[in-house]
A and B are shown apart, each in its own frame.
Chain A
Amino acid sequence: GENVEQHPSTLSVQEGDSAVIKCTYSDSASNYFPWYKQELGKRPQLIIDIRSNVGEKKDQRIAVTLNKTAKHFSLHITETQPEDSAVYFCAAPNSGNTPLVFGKGTRLSVIA
């Protein structure tokens, strides 16, 4: 089955700086890579995702890059703001239409 590794586990940045979180996956057949933001006590919220047929996707301050050869994908947040502070999870599907396997999460702290 799919195995997803996520780094770093914690990340502190100054407001305005960029933050990068990286994930690797094991199943070369995986074709969908979402990123979720979870605030304390709340459900994970999808913030961006990428399909395997593209290498990069951007949505305002958030971007995701995918390297299928190396089997890794990264979340990039630019011009970070205090409200970006949360736990971020990457995920990848098991083979077929099966549920997502999540990384262990990255606790991002944006210091004003």
Chain B
Amino acid sequence: GAVVSQHPSRVICKSGTSVKIECRSLDFQATTMFWYRQFPKKSLMLMATSNEGSKATYEQGVEKDKFLINHASLTLSTLTVTSAHPEDSSFYICSASPPRIQYNEQFFGPGTRLTVL
């Protein structure tokens, strides 16, 4: 199957700082990647769709100025949580689909656990 990596796996930061999370497709090119957020004991909630070479599409209620997404290459999308606050503490997971996949099968990264103190 396709491999998606994320870095870092875990990050702890102080309130008010910014944190960048990287999502890479290791063995395929991904024109589209997706960013999800998962709070404890909750489901995965789509935050935004990251499009290579163009602006990301954000879901309703997700602040695009707070969660900056950059998809500068076909194998890398980054999510930057700006001016992080404790309520941003969550598990952030990206996913992508290889071009050869006909249906919507998605491959998830290992996730990044963000803790904002």
Interface residues of A (CB under 8 A from B): 31-32, 34, 41-46, 49, 51, 89, 93, 97-105, 107
* Residues of chain B within 8 A of A101, CB atoms compared: 46
Q: Which residue on A lies nearest to B104, using beta carbons?
A: A93
**B interface, size bucket:** 20 to 34
Question: In the complex, A75 Cα to B93 Cα: how many Å?
Answer: 24
Question: In the complex, A43 Cα to B42 Cα: how many Å?
Answer: 13
Q: A42-B110, A89-B44, A103-B43 are contacts. A32–B105 as well, Cβ < 8 Å?
A: yes
Q: Could you give, for residues 80-117 of chain B, a 1 whenever the CB lies within 8 Å of some chain A CB and a 0 otherwise?
A: 00000000000101010100000111101111010000
CB–CB B95/A99 < 8 A = yes
User: When A and B form their complex, which 6 residue pairs have the shortest distance between CB atoms, in order from nearest?
Assistant: A93-B104, A32-B103, A43-B108, A99-B34, A104-B43, A102-B44
CB–CB A32/B108 < 8 A = no
Determine which residue in A44, A46, A101 has the highest number of CB atoms from chain B within 10 A of its CB, and name it: A44
* Residues of chain A within 8 A of B108, CB atoms compared: 43-45
B78 close to A (CB within 8 Å): no
* Residues of chain A within 8 A of B91, CB atoms compared: 41
- Out of A42, A97, A102, A103, name the residue touching B104 (CB < 8 Å): A97
